[in-house]
Amino acid sequence: MAARLVKQVGNVAIYDLIGSGDVDRLERLFALYARLFPQYEHYVPRMRRRAQFESEHRPGHVVHYWLVEVDGRPAGLRTFRYVRERRCGLAHALAVDPAFRNVLVDGRRLSVFIIYECLEQIIRDAKERGDPPVLGMVNEVEPERLMEHYIRNGLVQLPLKYVEPIFPPEVEGRSRLEELAITRFSYMHMGFLPNPELMVKEYTHDMVVDFAKAFLVDHYCLPEEHPAVLEVIETIKVQGAEHDRAQN
């Protein structure tokens, strides 16, 4: 089965590979991921398994693995999902090969073009399923200079101290509890790219809690009572947060 062409602008093409069986393109994506994210290379076996299934294999989640090609060569990747219950997208990995970082598409650098295209994708995902409009795309962001770059290109930095769980390499026979016991956590910024059709202007405590739980509970499958989840939620500082909590 061939990958689905999401969009083509001139010599730049985006392909969605999830569930496609397009082994050649999938292996190019995994090779690019391992090269540009060496600290996460041990995630590739998990990703390879997930890519075998359709996008909605997990109820309530619409998953996308994008390979971006320039002149038919692998130039970048984006992995992300739409979480229907939370009305948001989760941006996982974004990488552009250094050789292609100065490529412009519609006047934007390739990385920024990709960011906005995946926002358009989750907006379509919601509309196609008859869901309420998505609020926008939530992004884990590291390091500080990248957050500054994203802010210049339309993202909002959310007011919390977020941590990303980094799971160990898989070992056959290891239980989930054993895996969680040796999972380490890394501080990251959390950025948000709003849906321009809604133009969210106020970020309530409950909204930011939902964004944090979308990553930590829905995606990473941490228990809601896990100390990392509770600590992240405790750091959320938005206007009216005390009032919001008092009403719950």
pLDDT tens readout for residues 135-176? 999 999 988 899 999 999 999 999 999 999 999 999 999 999
**CATH code: domain of residue 93:** 3.40.630.30
Whether residues 121 and 9 fall in one domain: yes
pLDDT of 220 reads 97
Whether residues 151 and 245 fall in one domain: yes
Whether residues 124 and 142 fall in one domain: no
Whether residues 139 and 125 fall in one domain: no
Question: Are the C-beta atoms of residues 225 and 212 closer than 8 Å to each other?
Answer: no
Whether residues 213 and 151 fall in one domain: yes
78 C-beta neighbours (distance < 10 Å), count: 24
The overall average pLDDT reported for the chain is 94
Whether residues 123 and 21 fall in one domain: yes
pLDDT of 199 reads 78
Domain that holds residue 185: 135-248
pLDDT of 206 reads 95
Whether residues 40 and 90 fall in one domain: yes
Point out the domain boundary residue: 129, 164, 198: 129
The residues, any chain, with a CB within 8 Å of residue 32's CB and separated by 6 or more, are 67, 74, 76, 77, 95, 97
Place of tokens 């590979």: 17
Whether residues 143 and 75 fall in one domain: no
Domain count along the chain:
2
Measured CA to CA, the distance from residue 46 to residue 169 in angstroms comes to 10
Point out the domain boundary residue: 97, 129, 161: 129
Whether residues 148 and 86 fall in one domain: no
Paired residues of 192 in beta bridges: 138, 156
Whether residues 125 and 24 fall in one domain: yes
Whether residues 222 and 112 fall in one domain: no
Whether residues 33 and 108 fall in one domain: yes
Point out the domain boundary residue: 89, 104, 129: 129
Quickly state the pLDDT bin for 1 (edges 50, 70, 90): low
Q: How far apart are the first and last CA of the chain?
A: 49
pLDDT tens readout for residues 54-95? 999 999 999 999 999 999 999 999 999 999 999 999 999 999
